[in-house]
Amino acid sequence: MLRRLDLRGPLGDLRAVLPRPTTGGDGPLNAVRGIIADVRERGDTALRELTARFDGVDLETVVVDPADVASAPARIDPAVLGALEVAAAAIRRHHEGQLRAEHRTDDDGLCVRSLSRPVERAGCYAPGGRAAYPSTVLMTVVPARVAGVEVVVLCVPPGPDGRVADVTLAAAAVAGVDAVYAVGGAQAVAAMAYGTASIPAVDVIAGPGNVYVALAKREVAGQVGVPSAFAGPSEVVVVADATVPPEFAAVDVVVQAEHGPDGLAWLVTWDEAVADAVEAEVVRIAEAAPRRSEITATLAASGWSVLVDGPDEALAIADAIAPEHLQLMVAGAGEMAERVRNAGAVFCGPWSPASLGDYVAGPSHVLPTAGTARFAGALTVSDFTRDIHLITADRPALLRLAPHVVALAGAEGLDAHAESVRLRTAWTDGSDDG
């Protein structure tokens, strides 16, 4: 199931030669643009028609009854509810550590303060339809709540019965969502960006999804805030040596492939015997898996077993891919992790599977995909906040700094900028207050 790629020897330009999934060219993008335009023009009517077309269900309204959300925790397995509560607490604890106090600098009469302020409304997206992802509800909504966002709404595709899964609604209740809407895909992103009669426009949209969802977020960026990472189909690169049981490495290759097509699942090793053993285990695990079709589809498209010369070359491969999940199942994993440049999240050693991060470790599992870990990172509190600078100068400070303002404004040909300080330096009322 894993195709063998022998990259022993000089590596060359890895970004140019490494195979990786694509977003499918102009087809998906054009489809997304059409959906966004339709939702902007026809609002809720378009949402209902698109839901019927893509999800196969006719809905009178996309609004989920708040009472249905509030009662959902009582309808699910108590063990699952307990796990949601444990996960929510861990996510909350981690993200509370990201909150920043006011930053202030004082310099001889010039005071500059930087204040972190949450956005007013956030829209969170969780995949659904074929499967339920309550963990994604927690991983998006809880950071928004910790940031202090006043209103948090959630869009989730409806299931075949037209309902959002109880476990997803329970997660929404645990996380403290204000409203849930049974709508998915690019149409959900468009609705949150531009607003409809049922769904209010938001200030930030966060959450992972398929290629269509990820492309839609790119298209509406600027109308709303969108984290810079491409949070699309799931990815994993497992770097393994002979110190790890091959079934550990194999199951973690399969884990991310379980999400379905368009993802990426790689094994990288410098030991041919390890490659042989892990590849055999991948076949065994995949054939017995309940989601065999999703796994085999992903592995057929982008499952690779890569042979390199050593740990340095393995790290170079990982950095070139910039994967969503990077698992280092090697001796000295901690030391190797310190040298990683590009990855959404790094999991060190045999006892730290990506599944731990997917659910209960604490950091959001909304991570960069499609190589965007080169410049973007995990979803954090900062994605729901923005900095406001407060600048206060007294007259002596202005007099001290005015010549520099005049010089720079003159260099840029902006005389009015210079005049704004000239007027103040010539003022003779004797005031020393800013």
Cβ burial of 374 (10 Å; 0-12, 13-18, 19+) is middle
Q: Are strands 264-269 and 303-307 parallel, antiparallel or unpaired?
A: parallel
Return d(Cα 88, Cα 139) in angstroms, integer: 8
Cβ contact 344:358 at 8 Å = no
C-alpha–C-alpha distance, residues 236 and 213, integer Å: 20
> Per the structure block, which two tokens stand in for 103?
């930053």
Distance CA 262, CA 275 (A): 23
Specify whether 324 is catalytic: yes
User: Active site residue: 325, 404, 412, 417, which one?
Assistant: 325
Say how far residue 10 (Cα) sits from the centre of its chain: 34
Marked catalytic residue, from 258, 294, 324, 365: 324
Q: Which residues are catalytic?
A: 324-325
